[in-house]
Amino acid sequence: MRRLPNDAYVYATYRLVDREDKLKARADGIAVGLTVGSWTDLPAAKQAQVQKHCGVVERMETVEHLADGQVVADITIGYPVINFTPTFSALLTTVFGKLSMDGIIKLIALHIPDALRQQFPGPKFGVQGVRDRLGVHDRPLLMSIFKSCIGNNLDELTAHFTEQALGGADLIKDDEIFFTEAYATPEERVQAYAKAAERTRQETGKRVLYAVNLTGPVFELRERARRLASLGAGALLLNVYAYGLDVLADLARDPEVTVPIMAHPAVSGALYAAPHHGISADIVLGELLRLAGADIVIYPSPYGSVTLPREEGERLVAALRRPGPHKPCLPAPSAGIHPGLVPVLLRDFGTDIIVNAGGGIHGHPGGATAGGRAFCAAIDAAVRGIPLPQAAENSPALAQALQKWGYREA
């Protein structure tokens, strides 16, 4: 094993199970097999040429001893940067292509040096850019999710949008399953909602951005994204792992896609959720989405109906924020979020987050407008350090929400 210069290699760490006496051979096999294949039988001159492309074993560490000589071990391999092009197909195939099928093994850490990282687009807007578009800089943002979309006509959808906007949401996003255009196309929705958003702005003084689900055949997405942006979309929602990371990167690089991109985690659980296989959530929903150009990243919160363990969520958020050549992303912890959880969200993730709610808004006893107002009151109270029951004395909407869902103080 050798200590390598960080800027010359991409480092991937794998947690695997194997016999302890076979670890070195396993590590050497990964380093060579995922880079140059087999080179030891080549002529000396050719070996020298190939050597600079060969992976190297950086570290091996036994984590746990099992029965029959088996161990859980972490192995870190360095892959020469010169082997990569700035595409996710190259990155993922190199560090975890055929290796992902080789028994009990999970990619748990990925270090990409800035020399390669800066060749990927990263967020076009990031935290500051999204805040600038809304004119909101001193509190978490609130996002409402359409929960009644399929089967509604344009007038009904616009009424639902208006109801959410009047509640004080900063962003309103489509449900990720909204693909059908039988009742209203994305273009029609963007135009109708833009008019509704202006009407509510005149009433409430608040701007609201509509995140439209970007759908259609993959080779038509760029043109549709440009068109939706020009028609007044506030943001684009993309099911990144259904379409592919390189699709997101292509949109993020396009100067004519002039709105933030919101990454939805649909399908990603197939990559990160298994304890001993796949790729860790902080890589799948943190490192890679930021690299590809997501401005906003939706991910399962530690508290609700679909959960990510708190420690994993913290590593994910750290990946979206850590210093580097790219702008930080806005995390949007989701699933089962209600107003009573707002203080805990701020405690765990700070104020540069999006409080993202569907049922917590639409399931409010007073309807979606009251649901949004309850969240606004909870956010204001949490930022000011006021206990939610005290804030609820001046907010009937928050009082109803706390009565229905309860609350957790930080």
User: pLDDT tens per residue, the chain (410 residues)?
Assistant: 455 557 899 999 999 999 998 999 999 999 988 888 764 554 454 566 677 888 899 999 999 999 888 999 999 999 999 999 999 999 999 999 999 999 999 999 999 999 999 999 999 999 999 999 999 999 999 999 998 778 889 999 999 999 999 999 999 999 998 888 989 999 999 999 999 999 999 999 999 999 999 999 999 999 999 999 999 999 999 999 999 999 999 999 999 999 999 999 999 999 999 999 999 999 999 999 999 999 999 999 888 777 888 899 999 999 999 999 999 999 999 988 999 999 999 999 999 999 999 999 999 999 999 999 999 999 999 999 999 999 999 999 999 999 999 998 77
**Tokens (6 digits) for 379:** 């956010």
- Cα 16 to chain center, whole Å? 26
- CA quadruple 176, 177, 179, 181: dihedral positive or negative? negative
What tokens were used for 77?
Answer: 């391999």
The predicted structure's pLDDT at residue 329: 97
Which segments of 83-220 does DSSP mark as H helices, in order? 88-96, 114-117, 126-134, 154-166, 186-204
Q: In this structure, which amino acid lies at residue 20?
A: E
Choosing from 22, 46, 52, 98, the catalytic residue is 98
Which H or E element spans position 144? strand 141-145
What is the DSSP pairing of strand 105-111 with strand 9-19?
Answer: antiparallel
Give the SS3 label for residue 133: helix
| pTM for the model | 0.94
Domains in the chain: ranges and CATH:
6-117 (3.30.70.150), 126-405 (3.20.20.110)
State yes or no: is 106 an active-site residue: no
Helix axes 368-384, 154-166, angle to 10 degrees: 30
Task: Give the DSSP letter of residue 102.
Answer: S
Q: What is the pLDDT of residue 150?
A: 80
* 99-104: long-range contacts, CB 8 A cutoff, minimum separation 24: 99/14, 99/30, 99/33, 99/34, 100/277, 100/278, 103/16, 103/17, 103/18, 104/16, 104/17, 104/276, 104/277
C-alpha neighbours within 13 Å on the C-beta side of residue 242 = 18
Task: Retrieve residue 240's tokens.
Answer: 């990144």
Which of 173, 253, 257, 184 shows the shortest CA–CA distance to 213?
173
pLDDT at position 42 is 47
Distances, alpha carbon 357 to alpha carbons 300, 327, 334, in Å: 12, 25, 7
